């Protein structure tokens, strides 16, 4: 977890809602700048990135459609396009690529050049 000096501005973070045991919780996952870098690295549209962000919470098209304000068919279309662009057959593979890209970006920033293979 990042720590900053008292009163210092915190980096903007994506806030994802997660219902757990009927209680609403917030996951502090990744900075908005990181999502923009992932978008560029994987050549995804802004809506496809938004879809993936919510897929981390609940990967069902119906749930994602409600969260991003589109129909279920449109959400499914985003899923199909993401899979095609990433060359994967399922959500677990897609999120694995997103995670590997995130880790690689942070390793490169910190100077640790160990590579992670991405399927």
Residue 25 within any structural domain of the chain: no
What are 66-102's pLDDT values in tens digits?
999 999 999 999 999 999 999 999 999 999 999 899 8
Rg of the chain taking only CA atoms, in angstroms: 15
pLDDT at 49 over 80: yes
Residue 115 within any structural domain of the chain: no
Residue 3 within any structural domain of the chain: no
pLDDT at 6 over 50: yes
What are 51-69's pLDDT values in tens digits?
998 888 888 999 999 999 9
Strand stretches in 1-119, DSSP E: 13-20, 23-31
What distance in Å separates the CA atoms of residue 114 and residue 119, rounded to the nearest whole number?
16
Residue 76 within any structural domain of the chain: yes
Residue 54 within any structural domain of the chain: yes
Residue 16, pLDDT score: 44
Range of the domain at 100: 33-110
Residue 60, pLDDT score: 92
User: Percent of the chain, pLDDT > 70?
Assistant: 69
Lowest mean pLDDT across 14-23, 41-50, 58-67, 103-112: 14-23
Residue 2 within any structural domain of the chain: no
Number of domains in the chain: 1
Secondary structure of residue 111 in the 3-state scheme = coil
Residue 17, pLDDT score: 42
What CATH number is given to the structural domain containing 74? 1.10.10.10
Residue 98 within any structural domain of the chain: yes
Residue 116 within any structural domain of the chain: no
* Residue 114 confidence class, pLDDT cut points 50, 70, 90: low
């Amino acid at each position: 977890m990042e720590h900053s000096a008292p009163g210092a501005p915190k980096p903007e973070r994506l806030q994802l809602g997660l219902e757990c045991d009927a209680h609403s919780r917030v996951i502090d996952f990744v900075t908005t700048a990181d999502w923009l870098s992932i978008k560029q690295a994987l050549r995804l549209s802004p809506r496809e990135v938004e879809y993936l962000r919510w897929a981390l919470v609940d990967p069902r098209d119906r749930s994602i459609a409600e969260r991003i304000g589109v129909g279920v068919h449109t959400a499914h279309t985003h899923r199909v396009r993401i899979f095609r662009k990433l060359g994967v057959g399922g959500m677990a593979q897609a999120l694995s690529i997103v995670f590997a890209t995130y880790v690689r970006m942070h390793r490169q920033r910190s100077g640790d050049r160990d590579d992670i293979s991405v399927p």
